[in-house]
Structure 1
Amino acid sequence: MDWLFIVKPTDTGLDDGSSAGSSAKDRMLALAETAPRREWCLSRWRRMASGDRLWIYFASPVREIAAVAEIEDEPYEVTGSPRQPWRFTATLNAAATRRLYLDPVPLHALSNRHPQGVTRVRDGDLGLLLDHAGL
Structure 2
Amino acid sequence: MGNIYRGALLHDIGKISIPDSVLLKKGPLTEDEWKIIRTHPATAYEPLSKVEYLRPSLDIPYCHHERWNGSGYPRGLKGEEIPLAARIFAVVDVYDALISDRPYRKAWSKEETIKYLLKNSGTLFDKRVVKGFLEILRSDS
Please classify the TM superposition score into its range, dividing by the shorter chain length.
under 0.3
Relative to total residues, which structure has the larger helix share, 1 or 2? 2
Please tell me whether Structure 1 or Structure 2 has the larger radius of gyration of its CA atoms: 2
Relative to total residues, which structure has the larger strand share, 1 or 2? 1
With normalisation by structure 1, the TM-score equals 0.26
